[in-house]
Amino acid sequence: MTKLLRNLPEDKDETEVLSQVNIDGRADLYSVGLILYEILTGKLWTYTRLSPMEINILVSKRLDEIVMGLLEHNLSNRIPSDEKLIEELKEV
């Protein structure tokens, strides 16, 4: 199992790889989070594991919370839908 995660591509959600059951749109939202993270920080999430605010002081607290909400490994804590993501981004 450790070898599987070590070779995980940057754009793959670990929860998707580890449990192939009940995959839904939240796996896609994880990928959106990875893209936003890289845009905001210039770094890959898989290598830093720091919040965007810790790398880029221009990132607002709210935007940081949204990105980290997309990267949440616990599916029940992840932003649940693209509609909710759009709603939250409009507040930034």
Return the domain boundaries, the chain.
2-90
Residues in the chain: 92
CB 53 within 8 A of CB 64: yes
For the domain covering 2-90, report its CATH number. Answer: 1.10.510.10
Nearest Cα neighbor of 30 from 91, 73, 84, 92 is: 73
DSSP run (H or E) holding 90: helix 82-90
Token pair for residue 26?
A: 């939240």
Please report which confidence band the pLDDT of residue 51 belongs to, taking 50, 70 and 90 as the band edges: very high
Please report which confidence band the pLDDT of residue 26 belongs to, taking 50, 70 and 90 as the band edges: confident
User: 0.85 exceeded by the pTM?
Assistant: no
Q: What is the pLDDT of residues 52-81, one digit of tens each?
A: 999 999 999 999 999 999 999 888 899 999
What is the model's pLDDT at position 75?
Answer: 85
